[in-house]
Structure 1
Amino acid sequence: MNIDYIVPNDWSIIEDGFNKEDVTSSESLFSIGNGAMGQRANFEEKYSGETFQGSYIGGIYYPDKTRVGWWKNGYPEYFAKVLNAPNWIGIGVKVNGEELDLNACKVSDFRRELNMKEGWLSRTFKATMSDREEIQVTSIRFLSLDINEVGAIKYSVKALNFDGEVEFTPYLDGGIVNEDSNYDEFFWKIKDIQEGDNDAVILSETLKTEFGVATGMKVDFQLNDDEVSFDKTILKEDKSISYQYKTRVNKGDTISMIKFGGYCQSMNHPKEKLIECSQKTLQKAFDLGFDTLLEMQKKSWAKVWETADIIIEGDVKAQQAIRFNIFQLNQTYSGENSRLNIGPKGFTGEKYGGSTYWDTEAYCIPFYMSTKDKDVARNLLKYRHNQLGKAIENAEKLGFKNGAALYPMVTMNGEECHNEWEITFEEIHRNGAMIYAIYNYVNYTDDYSYIPEYGMEVMIAVARFWHQRATWSEDKNKYVILGVTGPNEYENNINNNFYTNYLAKWCIEYAVENLSKLKDEYADDFARIMSLTKLSDSEMESWMKVADNMYFPYSEKHEVYLQQDGFLDKEIIPVSQLPKSERPINQKWSWDRILRSCYIKQADVLQGFYMFEDRFDKKTIEKHFDFYEPITVHESSLSPCIHSILAVSIDRMPKAYEQYLRTSRLDLDDYNHEVHEGLHITSMAGTWMSIVQGFGGMRNFDGKLSFNPQIPAEWTSYSFKINFRGSTLKVYKSQTECKFINESDKDVEIYLGDEKIIVSSNKLVQV
């Protein structure tokens, strides 16, 4: 991939010129979605070159058989995969009988644009066919935020130098196979194919999970902007249906096809009503018309940007990057459905199976609760509460008892479905992220009701896990946690990972603290929960023995907490001494060599310092940053944002800016040479954090909203908004001034250092 081919622009992702080598990367970068479904930016017309076709529906998955050569007790029985759904965007195009294929014809004036401000994708190009007919093609496509089961395409062909025949063949293809299928299986059963006048529906059902999906299309035509109709030929096969329309055009004529398509699925509708639902939904879109639906789309995105936008002046690449990240996060998750969550690739590819990871709790919660209504973040928390029973089952499979819960590293329905043992069994720190998310939510929103209603049960189950997972060490006279993998996955099966041990201690303390609060202030809820969980005072006392006596590996020589026991046995060689030809090491080195090296995939000790920054002084953070940052390769998308935030807090602005660009342009500049597989959606929330919590210095410890705005030398100014406890607060920082603007009808209390400032309703405070 040519990393410079994306044109810098404040509001759009733009590709000028057609390069076959960039096609799969662009399919990722120009992806579109609406929270309920999404798709890669595949061409509507045929493309015979390398391509990764992908359309995905939120919540629809298949339990693919785990592919391993051995089996152990407790091992996941399947690896859940988001399913590559039936394709509704397809439009075959022929000119005088010759098929339009950008891999075969001469292409010029190619331009692709993803307009993030208004939520649409467009393409324009000129193509010269083998008989030298020249056409100009324009397409615009979007997935509606207003009718989230519908997408729309307007595809126009203009005859530039000929009179002749143009043929459109819109189709539905139910025969799509996942790129990542372990055994090249087809995961769908075709139940029915129905045709209509200018509409059609394929009814499919997933194997095993039996999700029903009706994939529909409805088409209309315009000639030089006037509505026209044509006779059609129906082409029907076992897994597809297409309609063939032919028309004569004169030189200068433009023939346009408007195609509405989308999915109705059984999570939202009765199976027996899916075909009817598809027909009614598409008719509703058809009656509104393409132009009206597009105007609605623009207004809906304008509403999203009212709070979510971050404005950076003086640095176009930085501005483009943050909006790209915010845009993709909003395309992936809207917050309306607590049954859905955020996969690391969202709707842009199949890597990681489209499943839910700890990324949601550790990275995404702050973004959604600050840019949307608190109920959006609450739904993300409820997603985990709803799966508590499965988390307890997961722990039982590994031998834990008494209602201890181990939340899955990877899941679709609460069951663990990751197929690497060092992740499945060992990366148990994810349990801590579940509790930290509850703390983060309550602390930020002041909605304590979540804890007695839902959160306390989760805290108890997780505390029980940590209590049972810890081991008393006679040698150390402390509790230890053995055989784990921390966030840094370049070290497996290690003992006493600092981050994991610290989270375990904190989770227990937080659970006991809240049980005490419930006992004093929510007596009825306390009694109900104690009865439900059969929790006793003596059990809590045994928890606290673990928390009070937790072991943390420490180096007196370096005055830093160590990643884990024995870390200093490694040869410490800074990343700066690694030849560029050996980077990224996860693509150039053997796994054995990586595990024996000192190199850190992502923030690990520093992840803990970020989450519990209020418990460590600036000098301590600085010492740890200087020890660990030089040996971190940032080959996880989740790493640069944490380093950027901490770098600002210790006054390392050049490093903070460097890491901000890395996290924000991770995909746009393809730092890890993998963007063709899909985008890094969950880490995009970390990009938002890099500005708001990093440069903006926003913190919310002890329920106090505080700021310490700083600005990189490369920027003229920046501003962002947050929704804090029902108030909208705008923060503006330039090289010479800092302003806080309260856009709400009630006062907001903030802190700058130890100074309390009241930002009155609809007023501005300049600092």
Structure 2
Amino acid sequence: ERFPGFTRSTDTRVPVAEGKHIRLQLGDAPLRLQEAEWLDFERTLDLAAGALVRRLRLKTAQGHTLEIRARRVVPLAERALLAIRFEVASIDYTGPLTLCSSIETGRQAVQQGDDPRIGVHGGKGLQVAEEQADAEGARLTQRTHHSGVALICAQRHRLSPGMVPTAALAGEGRVEQRFGATLTPGASVAIEKYVAYDDGNGQAGDGVDAVLGRALRDGFDAIAGAQADTMRAFWQRAGLSVDGDPAAELALRFNLFHLLQSAGRDGINGTAAKGITGEGYEGHCFWDTEAFVLPVMAFTAPDVARAMLMYRYRTLDGARDTARAMNHPRGALYPWRTIAGRECSAHYPSGSAAYHINAAIAHGIGLYLDASDDLDFLSEAGAEILFETARIWPQAGHFNPRLDGAFCIHEVTGPDEYTTLVNNNWYTNRMAQRHLQRAVDAWQRLSADRPDALHALAARIGLEGEEVALWQRAADAMYLPVDRALGIQPQDDDFLAKPRWPFPSREGPHRPLLLDYHPLTLYRHQVCKQADVVMAMVLAGDGIDLGTKRRDFDYYEAVTTHDSTLSAPVYGILASEVGQDEKAWQYFDASLRVDLDDLHGNTDHGVHMAAMAGSWLGLVQGFGGLRVAGGHLRFAPTLPKAWKGYGFNLRWRGCALRVDVDARGVRYR
């Protein structure tokens, strides 16, 4: 349906050429792993070195015994490079061996089926535009069908003594190089394979020839060593420990590793809800990037947090276009879900109506600035985002004369997607208040410290002091009611007047209500998909007394299904604050292992980046009690009964901080 403002196109992530393939032939016969007897197999994700290691000892159908060892690195120092060392050792085989190294296309995107969490559709696959292969290397170029965007994938190799090129093939969406050698018992051969990708968005040094040239020059050991150094530096910044629960510590490190490798580090690409691990949500970025993932990076890898925000700056024009489509004559409204910067969801009740995404991005900017005091970022990018997004609130809200001039915001959707198009969503109002105040503070900071930069920015976007004063007035007058009868914050003007959810709970594995009930059925009841008011208590709960927070927790926990993986970590953090220690532990454990144990039954769509981030937040903000208020760090640690102690590292304004907690107390250093 094509109503005004409805999106008419979408971005989607589609499979690209796969360059990791290396196949074996013994003589003229391909080695088929499914037909061989596996004698021993081990696969290790080396979190310390940032490498995936595999070892397989097998007996072929012909009775020959081989051992295959592979080590794979995707170096964080390069924009798009894959490095593989692949070694084959003979135990009792004598004869010719061929290694077939290829780049292949043809894999189709996962179809949605009946689960809307995957996406609208898989998109149309890329078409192959060029294929080349010879003894020196191979490359394959793909293009999109409509926009003509080109992606080049190329490979080069280094060979161990005794291996020589024997053939090169190209055609039918596949390029391949073959290398031969003769094996004898006790001998081994190896190749180092380097695969580079280039979509044209990087710098001159990111082209495939330049990247592969550096890889061939340095060799696998140097690349793997540099990766290990990078990871060592990260773990020094983001180090953590759990005394008495090594499984929890390992899961936390596993989650942190996924966050680091999936976060947009180049300022060009965003951080998708599934990272780079699967096709769920079509590769789209949502508000949870700034609400969950960015805080982790701000405290452990500030350069990555900055790059994540630069992606939002790069897509600011798309947010301006979204604002115009939503009838706002000025300002910027970031889309609910996007890749390139424009709205990709036409389901406006739970999409475009979620104006709180502007506040989430402002929250991320504010937290990054608190943690880094990066005035250059503020003057060059952050202030423009804050100002342009703050402009939306006076257009979306109004000073209500029936409520003594309180600033009210109507027809929006908060984090809870089972309650949509409401007036005065408490979370949205609270976060809008903080957003407006952040924008005013940025204006005042630049006025004092970078007046020339502020003058140039204000002139370029047509911003004057009177508009900034309006933001302050709206923030001061924000409508944030408390229900007198219950002593809690009402989720919105009507939520508490609705009936409770009447349907019986489903037995068996967790299944979200959205898969079985029409949205209107959900909207008519007091049922929450995820934390909403509770989320406000965690992100902006300073100044609210503990008794009110406890009542909020108790009330909303009873009506929340936690059908979103964003919910458990938030409830766990507030549970720690209000003294619900057992529940804090249960929620922490749920977010810690949501993907390792596939608790929501959809990890095959990709891991849940926000839940992974939520596990770290559960440790640091939940058990550690970390809050940032007024630009200052505050802690209120608790110790779970299952642990003897725990500790974590933080970065704060260029300094390293370590917090250790055990039964004796807390140590800060």
TM-score by length of 1: 0.79
May I ask how many residue pairs the two structures share in their alignment? 660
1:97–1:601 Cα change, 3 Å: farther
Structure 2, unmatched stretches of 5+, are: 112-118
C-alpha distance in structure 1 between counterparts of 2:75 and 2:444, whole Å: 47
Equivalent position amino acid for 2:156 in 1: K
Q: What residue number does 1:584 align with?
A: 511
Q: What residue number does 1:342 align with?
A: 271
Match of 1:92 among 12, 23, 37: 23
Contact 1:176 1:186 in 2 (8 A): no
Contact 1:359 1:683 in 2 (8 A): no
What secondary structure does 1:424 align onto?
coil
Contact 2:134 2:169 in 1 (8 A): no
Q: What residue number does 2:177 align with?
A: 243
1:591-648 superposed Cα distances (whole Å, 9 cap, x missing partner): 3454445332221101111111212111111110111123322222222221222112
Q: What residue number does 2:299 align with?
A: 370
Residue 465 of structure 1: how far off its partner (Å): 1.2
Q: What residue number does 1:670 align with?
A: 598
Contact 2:163 2:189 in 1 (8 A): no
Match of 2:233 among 288, 303, 320: 303
Alignment of 1:153 onto 2:84:
yes
User: What percentage of aligned pairs have identical amino acids?
Assistant: 26
1:509–1:256 Cα change, 3 Å: closer
Residue 671 of structure 1: how far off its partner (Å): 1.0
1:254–1:319 Cα change, 3 Å: same
Q: What residue number does 1:327 align with?
A: 257
Compare 678-687 and 612-621 and name the one that shifted more.
678-687
C-alpha distance in structure 2 between counterparts of 1:668 and 1:572, whole Å: 33
Alignment of 1:194 onto 2:132:
yes
Contact 1:314 1:715 in 2 (8 A): yes
1:300–1:163 Cα change, 3 Å: same
Q: What residue number does 1:390 align with?
A: 318
What secondary structure does 1:367 align onto?
helix
1:254–1:318 Cα change, 3 Å: same
Alignment of 1:686 onto 2:624:
no
Compare 148-157 and 406-415 and name the one that shifted more.
148-157
Equivalent position amino acid for 2:49 in 1: E
1:518–1:268 Cα change, 3 Å: closer
Q: What residue number does 1:483 align with?
A: 411
1:582–1:119 Cα change, 3 Å: closer
C-alpha distance in structure 2 between counterparts of 1:471 and 1:666, whole Å: 41
Match of 1:266 among 180, 187, 200: 200
Contact 2:12 2:122 in 1 (8 A): no
1:249–1:463 Cα change, 3 Å: closer
Residue 658 of structure 1: how far off its partner (Å): 1.5
Map of 1:249-288 to 2, 5 A cutoff? 249-269=183-203, 277-288=207-218
What secondary structure does 1:713 align onto?
coil
C-alpha distance in structure 2 between counterparts of 1:542 and 1:699, whole Å: 29
Compare 723-732 and 355-364 and name the one that shifted more.
355-364
Compare 549-558 and 178-187 and name the one that shifted more.
178-187
Contact 2:96 2:183 in 1 (8 A): yes
Compare 104-113 and 731-740 and name the one that shifted more.
104-113
Equivalent position amino acid for 1:230 in 2: V
Contact 1:311 1:718 in 2 (8 A): yes
Residue 518 of structure 1: how far off its partner (Å): 5.0
Q: What residue number does 1:7 align with?
A: none
Equivalent position amino acid for 1:320 in 2: L
Residue 379 of structure 1: how far off its partner (Å): 3.2
Contact 2:134 2:177 in 1 (8 A): no
Alignment of 1:399 onto 2:324:
no
Residue 364 of structure 1: how far off its partner (Å): 2.4
Structure 1, unmatched stretches of 5+, are: 1-69, 742-767
C-alpha distance in structure 1 between counterparts of 2:564 and 2:299, whole Å: 25
Contact 1:443 1:701 in 2 (8 A): no
C-alpha distance in structure 2 between counterparts of 1:612 and 1:623, whole Å: 16
Q: What residue number does 1:206 align with?
A: 144
Match of 2:338 among 411, 423, 447: 411
Residue 496 of structure 1: how far off its partner (Å): 2.7
Q: What residue number does 1:466 align with?
A: 393
1:98–1:196 Cα change, 3 Å: closer
Map of 1:54-133 to 2, 5 A cutoff? 70-95=1-26, 97-133=28-64
CA RMSD after TM alignment: 3.0
C-alpha distance in structure 2 between counterparts of 1:91 and 1:386, whole Å: 38
Map of 1:591-670 to 2, 5 A cutoff? 591-592=518-519, 593-670=521-598
C-alpha distance in structure 2 between counterparts of 1:518 and 1:293, whole Å: 42
C-alpha distance in structure 1 between counterparts of 2:542 and 2:430, whole Å: 14
Q: What residue number does 1:700 align with?
A: 628
What secondary structure does 2:155 align onto?
strand
1:537–1:249 Cα change, 3 Å: closer
Equivalent position amino acid for 2:178 in 1: Q
C-alpha distance in structure 2 between counterparts of 1:661 and 1:643, whole Å: 12
Equivalent position amino acid for 1:261 in 2: V
1:142–1:591 Cα change, 3 Å: farther
1:490-510 superposed Cα distances (whole Å, 9 cap, x missing partner): 223333321112223333344
C-alpha distance in structure 1 between counterparts of 2:365 and 2:626, whole Å: 19
1:538-574 superposed Cα distances (whole Å, 9 cap, x missing partner): 5456556654554446433321112223323444369
Alignment of 1:166 onto 2:100:
no
C-alpha distance in structure 2 between counterparts of 1:681 and 1:487, whole Å: 17
Residue 148 of structure 1: how far off its partner (Å): 4.3
Contact 1:76 1:416 in 2 (8 A): yes
Residue 444 of structure 1: how far off its partner (Å): 2.8
C-alpha distance in structure 2 between counterparts of 1:249 and 1:522, whole Å: 68
Q: What residue number does 1:763 align with?
A: none
C-alpha distance in structure 2 between counterparts of 1:526 and 1:202, whole Å: 47
TM-score by length of 2: 0.90
Q: What residue number does 2:366 align with?
A: 439
Compare 651-660 and 527-536 and name the one that shifted more.
527-536
Q: What residue number does 1:315 align with?
A: 245
Contact 2:163 2:180 in 1 (8 A): no
Q: What residue number does 2:382 align with?
A: 455
1:133–1:520 Cα change, 3 Å: closer
Equivalent position amino acid for 2:157 in 1: V
Residue 675 of structure 1: how far off its partner (Å): 1.0
C-alpha distance in structure 1 between counterparts of 2:279 and 2:641, whole Å: 39
C-alpha distance in structure 2 between counterparts of 1:334 and 1:404, whole Å: 25
C-alpha distance in structure 2 between counterparts of 1:164 and 1:572, whole Å: 73
1:60-110 superposed Cα distances (whole Å, 9 cap, x missing partner): xxxxxxxxxx22221223221234221111112234544444445443423
1:682–1:262 Cα change, 3 Å: farther
Residue 268 of structure 1: how far off its partner (Å): 2.0
Q: What residue number does 1:217 align with?
A: 155
C-alpha distance in structure 1 between counterparts of 2:371 and 2:122, whole Å: 46
Q: What residue number does 1:723 align with?
A: 651
C-alpha distance in structure 2 between counterparts of 1:260 and 1:522, whole Å: 46
Q: What residue number does 1:754 align with?
A: none
Contact 1:369 1:441 in 2 (8 A): yes
C-alpha distance in structure 1 between counterparts of 2:34 and 2:424, whole Å: 54
1:519–1:144 Cα change, 3 Å: closer
Compare 550-559 and 232-241 and name the one that shifted more.
550-559
Q: What residue number does 2:115 align with?
A: none
Equivalent position amino acid for 1:737 in 2: G
Equivalent position amino acid for 1:262 in 2: A
C-alpha distance in structure 1 between counterparts of 2:304 and 2:89, whole Å: 45
Contact 2:298 2:367 in 1 (8 A): no
C-alpha distance in structure 1 between counterparts of 2:640 and 2:502, whole Å: 25
